[in-house]
Structure 1
Amino acid sequence: MVKRGGSVPKKTGLISFLVVCSLWCLPSSANAQALIPHTLQLDAAKLEKQGLSLAQEAASLGQFQQYELALPRARLASQLAPKNDKVWFLLGGLYLQTKDYNNAISSLRKAQGLNPKNADVQFALGSVHFQQQKYQEAAGFYQAGLRLKPNDPEGLFDLGNAFYMLGKLPDAIAQYNKAVAQNKKFWPAINNIGLIKYEQGDATGAIKQWQTAVSLDKQAAEPLLALAVALHARGDRQQALALGVQALRIDNRYADLEFLKQNLWGTRLLADTKKFIELPGVQAAIEQRESQSSRQRPQ
């Protein structure tokens, strides 16, 4: 399980349009007169309020992954409320979700400059570098965030993932355990300990971790499928098939080996998973789930 994910346009658009209209969108006069332009007084507080309202809209759209609609609102919000670090943080997060890493870093750096003590900005910068496979840099940002918020479970988890990708497996497990110590129900960290143990040849230890993760969240498809694969490799095929079908009915993305690799599944587990998903019973479950998904898509 792996989680978490430019230049700023000049102030154009709404403000400029209002200025132009105030000066030129006037009724024509019967007599030729020299027009004396009036300076338009912009209410900074009102503009900032509008910016924050746009940011809220962008955040709501982002929650539904409607990034093409969210980004323009967030960009405008950053122009209307340029001194609000939360707006820049939101914009950086949206850029991260769309894999626009340069603009993500630029926006997050602005947020960092406005509020150096915001740990979440450090974590987000870590996520940008992690997605760029710059794991050492990512670890540095996660550690900086944890200095500000030392008991953050997700920050500890993210640092564990960075250590995992750097091959520092004992350090990764230590961070995952710290995350669980802060949140007993934080199954992704327990799941990832299982991933490491399986690659180390400790299938029994991995199975225990995944069983614990599943007990914490019955709808967590990842540990459920990992458990099924491990049980199948051990010879418990009937139970493995039932668990695997259940996992793929929850989320059939886990039938994709590339998706699993992105979620830090190692070579040993991927090899066993490939064998497992080729089973006729598993293939039937995958096809059934895909058929259901296609029927549910709007025409």
Structure 2
Amino acid sequence: MPKYLPLISIFVLLGFLSAQAPVAGQALVPYTLQLDSKQLEQQGLNLAQDAVQLVRFQQYELALPRAELATQLAPKAFQTWFILGSLYVQTKELDQGITALERAKSLDPKESGIYFTLGSARFQKAEYSKAVAELEAGLKIKPNVPEALFDLGNAYYMLKAYPKAIAQYEKAVAQEKKFWPAINNIGLVKYEQGDIRGALDKWQAAIAIDDEAAEPQLAAAVAMYAQGEQEKAIALGEAALRIDSRYADLDFLKENLWGERLLTETQKFLANPKIQASIAQSQASPTQVESAPR
């Protein structure tokens, strides 16, 4: 389950680019190539559209040079810088992504998606206070975006501002009732606060929404195991690892924002011989990779 925004913003730009960029006039003097600034800008926007289409098929290596050229042809169009910056963030070139996104923001400071993507980049750089500032700025422009609220909750969580984190997750769920990742993360926060029962309730609610989501199943299993419900916990944990064996990796769990208290209990749970056998079996077969609903 991703813990920061996926590359959703540039997909929205497909329609935006089509609507905002009229085709330049096609009349040419015979035998003379005329490329004025409007035509160059149009070509840049067309290349940006091509880049977005390639991203749909995860062809980032092909998309990136098109996006880079687009910024050269249309340097005053925020869309080209927005797309380039988003691509850099998607490919983990975070500093370059932030530079391009800041350029986009200077060209159009009222585009919420730029702030949301900057927030994602700052979060990935562990600059959580800066992530909060960017995400809050974006939400002032366009409130009630579930993914942005989720990201903001994550940033507050990493700052250990637990009440604020829960508040943002709850806002995300209010906008999208089946947004189980936000419900799951409320459970993560509650567990770190020592509210085991509250955490279990949230993880069970997440499972009720998506019974193929491995994360809340394993988290619930760990909590029940720590509370002495070993038989039930082992069965649930085995089911979770059959869905996605990556959750047997403590580093992977940490990347997914599992806190110290939960990781400590998870280490004990994973050491159980039955769980060890289940891990070996799961890793011997192909992993089903879960995806969060969007």
TM range (shorter): 0.7 to 0.9
- Indicate the SS of the match to 2:284: helix
Q: 2:164 aligns with which of 171, 177, 189?
A: 171
Match of 1:68 in 2: 61
Give the partner amino acid of 1:103: Q
Query: Does residue 1:281 correspond to 2:282, yes or no?
Result: no
2:221 counterpart of 1:231? no
Secondary structure at the aligned position of 1:293 is classed as coil
How far 1:98 sits from its partner (Å)? Answer: 2.2
Which structure is larger by alpha-carbon Rg, 1 or 2?
1
Shift in Å, 1:42: 2.2
Aligned residues: 262
Alignment check: 8 A CA contact 2:4 2:123 kept: no
Q: 1:237 to 1:89 in 2, by over 3 A?
A: same
Distance 1:270 1:288 in 2: 22
- Go from structure 1 to structure 2 and tell me whether the alpha carbon gap of 1:92 and 1:240 turns closer, same or farther (over 3 Å shift): same
Query: Aligned partners of 1:102 and 1:260: how far apart in 2?
Result: 25
Equivalents in 1 of 2:283, 2:232: separation in Å? 23
Q: CA RMSD in A?
A: 2.3
Q: Percent identity?
A: 58
Deviation of 1:45 after TM superposition, in Å, equals: 5.2
What do residues 87-139 of structure 1 show as CA deviations (whole Å, max 9, x unaligned)?
32221111112221221011111221222111111011111111111111111
Report what 1:137 is aligned to.
130
Residue in structure 2 matched with residue 193 of structure 1 by the alignment: 186
2:51 aligned to which of 55, 58, 64: 58
User: 3-state SS of the aligned residue for 2:211?
Assistant: coil
Structure 2 stretches lacking a partner, 5+ long: 7-30, 288-294
What amino acid sits opposite 1:148 in the alignment? I
The separation in 2 between residues aligned to 1:292 and 1:64, in whole angstroms, is 26
Give the match's secondary structure for 1:292.
Answer: coil
1:190 Cα shift?
A: 0.9
Question: Larger deviation: 74-83 or 263-272?
Answer: 74-83
Matched, 1:162 2:121: no
- TM norm structure 2: 0.81
Letter in 2 for 1:266: G
Contact 2:44 2:74 survives alignment (8 Å): yes
> Could you tell me which residue of structure 2 aligns to residue 209 of structure 1?
202
Q: Secondary structure at the match of 1:264?
A: coil
